[in-house]
Amino acid sequence: MDTVFKGEHLLPGQIGQFFIVLAFGAALLSFISYLFATTDDAGKPKSTWQTLGRIGFYINSVSIIGIGACLFYIIYNHYFEYHYVWAYTSRSLPVRYIISAFWNGQEGGFLLWIFWQALLGLFLIWKSGSWERPVMTVVALSQVTLATMVLGQNFLGIHLGSSPFLLLREFMAGAPIFQSADYLSFIKDGQGMVPSLQNYWMIIHPPTLFLGFAAMVVPFAYAVAGLWQNKYKEWVSPAIPYALFASMILGTGVVMGSFWAYESLNFGGFWAWDPVENASIFPWITMVAALHVLIVFKNSGHSYFTATFLVLISFVLTWYASFLNRSGILGDTSVHSFTDLGMFWQLVTGIMIFLVMSVWLLVWRRKELPITKKDEETYSREFWMFVGSVFLGLSCFHLIVVTSIPVWNAMFGMNIAPPADKARLMHYNVIQSSFVFVITVLTAFTQFLKYKKTDVHRFLITNAVYLIFSILVTALVVYTSGLYKLNFVFTLVMCGSVYSTIANGKVLADAFRGKFKLAGAAVAHIGFGLLIIGALISAGTSTVISINNTGENYSEEFAKEENPRENILVYRNEPQKMGDYTVTYLGDSLNLPDHFFKVNYRRVDAAGKVAEDFTLYPKVQVNKGSLASSPDTRHYLFHDLYTHITMTNSASTSEEKGAAGEEEGAPKDDSKDYDPAVPHQVAVGDTIRFREGYMVFKQLNNGVKLQNIAASELLVSVGAEMEIHSHGQTYHSAPVYMLKKNGQVFDFPTKVEEAGLKLQFTKIIPEKKQIEINVYQQPESAKKYIVMRAIKFPYINFFWAGTIIMVIGFILSIFRRNKEVKVA
3-class SS of residue 198? coil
User: Virtual CA dihedral for 381, 385, 387, 393, nearest 10 degrees?
Assistant: 180
Of 200, 336, 198, 210, the closest CA to residue 267 belongs to 336
End-to-end Cα distance, the chain? 70
**Phi and psi (nearest 5°) for 679?**
-80, 145
Q: What is the distance between the alpha carbons of residues 390 and 303, in angstroms, rounded to a whole number? A: 11
Round to whole Å and give the CA distance between 703 and 719. 8
pLDDT at 161 over 60: yes
By C-alpha distance, which of 81, 84, 87 is closest to 181? 81
Q: Is residue 255's pLDDT more than 70?
A: yes
Tell me the C-alpha distance between 55 and 765, whole Å.
Answer: 90
Contact 459, 449 (CB under 8 A): yes
Prior bond to 418 cis, omega within 30?
Answer: no
AA identity, residue 373: K
User: What number is the average pLDDT over the span 437-455?
Assistant: 83
What is the SS3 assignment for 795?
Answer: coil
What does pTM read for this prediction?
A: 0.84
What is the Cα gyration radius of the chain? 33
pLDDT digits (tens, 9 = 90+) for 324-334: 888 878 766 66
E strands within 542-580? Answer: 543-544, 568-571, 576-578
Contact 195, 630 (CB under 8 A): yes
| pLDDT at residue 665 is higher than 60 | no
Residue 698: pLDDT band (50, 70, 90) is very high
CB count in 10 Å sphere of residue 391: 18
pLDDT at 319: 95
pLDDT cut 70: percent of the chain above it: 90
With residues binned 3-state (H G I as helix, E B as strand, rest as coil), the percentages for the chain, rounded to 5, are 55, 20, 25
User: Residue 447: its pLDDT value, please?
Assistant: 83
Q: Domain map of the chain by residue range?
A: 1-193, 675-777
In this predicted structure, what is the pLDDT of residue 625?
55
Q: Give the closest residue to 396 by CA, choosing from 293, 292, 313.
A: 313
- pLDDT tens track for 458-503: 888 888 899 999 999 999 999 888 887 888 888 999 999 999 999 9
User: Does the structure show a pLDDT above 80 at 710?
Assistant: no
List, for residues 740-761, the tens digit of each pLDDT value: 877 788 888 998 877 888 999 9
Listed range (157-166, 322-331, 368-377, 564-573) with the worst mean pLDDT = 368-377
Q: Which element (helix H / strand E) includes 384? A: helix 381-403
Between 14 and 2, where is the model more confident? 14
Mean pLDDT of the chain: 86
Q: How far is CA 134 from the centre of its chain?
A: 36
- Which residues, in sequence order, are CB contacts of 487 under 8 Å at separation 6+? 429, 430, 433
How far apart are the C-alpha atoms of 188 and 182, rounded to whole Å?
12
Helix (H, G, I), strand (E, B) or coil at 601: strand
Closest among 282, 272, 270 to 325, alpha carbons compared: 282
Three-state DSSP state, 780? helix
Residue 342 phi, psi (nearest 5): 80, 15
Please tell me the distance from the alpha carbon of residue 183 to that of residue 485, in angstroms, as a whole number.
63
DSSP state at residue 47:
-
